[in-house]
Amino acid sequence: MTQELLRVTDLKTEFQRGDEKVYTVNGVSFSLREGETLGIVGESGSGKSVTVHSMLGLLQGAGKVSSGQAIFQNRVDLLQLRRKQLEDIRGRDIGVIFQDPMTSLNPTMRIGNQIMEGMLTHQYASRKKAFERTLDLLHEVGIPEPKARFRNFPFEFSGGMRQRVMIAMAIACEPQLLIADEPTTALDVTVQMQILALMQKLKQDRKMSVLMITHDFGVATNFCDRILVMYGGKVMEAASLDTFIRRPLHPYTIALKSSIIEVGDRHKKLQAIPGMAKVWNAPPHHCPFYERCTFATQQCLKEVPELTQVDDQEDHWLACHHVEEVLKSVG
């Protein structure tokens, strides 16, 4: 049995917006084992990015973690670390890739130097070794002529090539955990597939754990071992990929899945789920999906459903009051 690498428990994050509070992450719990890839899926605004930003000390604006734990390597609570300690871990033990490489890359610095910088800051390698390793990394992430490309600036690269540079930066210090927040969302479909294939290879070669954040069901099902569905800042369903494909049971997951049609490897949006994700100005006091759910009853309006294991034999968790009814309807 592999070891647990990260355990997040009851994470809550809120933002102060003028006189209002916005409750964005409302008690998220999950764990990630060594070598495992966990996908966090959900529509835009469901609190996926804020969940990872909270763990990494990267909250923007007046964001504040109000409770929870994020135990990494069974030894440190990321939420309790000082900024400097977290910076030491970020980039060394935890590599991070974001959606838009342009905002993460320094436009005025040669890409080779940017890749080297992380290794030097974390004292991972001497200058000479970091230089050689940068050339190897550029080659490994599929950038031809590494020596010449080392001296290029980000604007001289296409979106896909920039994302390859970001990946090289993220894995430069051989992190145990890679967090990728919508790494392919800004790319066109062909390039998306290439980047996912590259990430797949890198994680297998290194036996790295990956936390993949995506609004794209297709990306999650192509790439992940286990999937967690978020909505309204809460976990709605969590299951292995197999269970997730074979028998998803949460009304939100089912609606999300039916809004997508698969054509070969392509995933096209058919119809959105009716209604809109809402902004919470108080902690949820009913099921977050209540307004949009076809199974909703008065109970769903009165009680927040807890995340509960479906049966002891299966790693399948659901937050819904009406699993029986859903089961009957899906057969």
Ligand X SMILES: Nc1ncnc2c1ncn2[C@@H]1O[C@H](COP(=O)(O)OP(=O)(O)O)[C@@H](O)[C@H]1O
The answer to whether 15 contacts ligand X (rule: CB under 6 A) is yes
The answer to whether 222 contacts ligand X (rule: CB under 6 A) is no
Contact criterion met (CB below 8 Å) for 241 and 52:
no
- In the sheet where 308-309 sits, what is the strand order? 94-97, 177-181, 209-214, 37-41, 226-231, 234-240, 317-318, 308-309
The answer to whether 274 contacts ligand X (rule: CB under 6 A) is no
List the x/- string, 227-266, binding to ligand X by CB under 6 A: ----------------------------------------
Min dist. Cβ of residue 25 to ligand SF4 (A): 18
In the bound state with ligand X, the residue whose beta carbon lies nearer, of 58 and 198, is: 58
**Cα–Cα distance for residue pair 281/321, rounded to 1 Å:** 23
Q: Position 197: which residue type?
A: A
Q: Among 218, 222, 87, 102, which residue's Cα sits nearest to residue 157?
A: 102
In the bound state with Mg ion, the residue whose beta carbon lies nearer, of 13 and 134, is: 13
List the x/- string, 44-73, binding to Mg ion by CB under 5 A: -----x------------------------
Min dist. Cβ of residue 213 to ligand X (A): 7
Min dist. Cβ of residue 298 to ligand SF4 (A): 10
| Residues in a beta bridge with 22 | 15
In the bound state with ligand X, the residue whose beta carbon lies nearer, of 48 and 90, is: 48
Q: Is 100 helix (H, G, I), strand (E, B) or coil?
A: coil
Instruction: Output the furthest CA–CA distance in the chain (Å, rounded).
Output: 66
In the bound state with ligand SF4, the residue whose beta carbon lies nearer, of 32 and 249, is: 249
In the bound state with Mg ion, the residue whose beta carbon lies nearer, of 140 and 181, is: 181
**Cα–Cα distance for residue pair 232/51, rounded to 1 Å:** 12
Contact criterion met (CB below 8 Å) for 19 and 71:
no
Residue 300 partner contact from ligand X, Mg ion, ligand SF4, none using kind-dependent CB cut-offs of 5 to 8 Å: ligand SF4
Q: Look-up: residue for tokens 């494909």? A: 245
Question: What DSSP character marks residue 307?
Answer: P
- Residue from 12, 37, 48, 300 that binds ligand X (CB under 6 A)? 48
In the bound state with ligand X, the residue whose beta carbon lies nearer, of 64 and 285, is: 64
The answer to whether 13 contacts Mg ion (rule: CB under 5 A) is no
The answer to whether 49 contacts ligand X (rule: CB under 6 A) is yes
Residue 89: phi and psi, rounded to 5, are: -75, -40
- Residue from 47, 112, 175, 232 that binds ligand X (CB under 6 A)? 47
**Cα–Cα distance for residue pair 320/239, rounded to 1 Å:** 14
**Cα–Cα distance for residue pair 81/299, rounded to 1 Å:** 40
The answer to whether 24 contacts ligand X (rule: CB under 6 A) is yes
**Cα–Cα distance for residue pair 15/51, rounded to 1 Å:** 13
Residue 289 partner contact from Mg ion, ligand X, ligand SF4, none using kind-dependent CB cut-offs of 5 to 8 Å: ligand SF4
Binding site for ligand X (CB under 6 A): 15, 17, 22, 24, 42, 44-50, 60-61, 63, 279
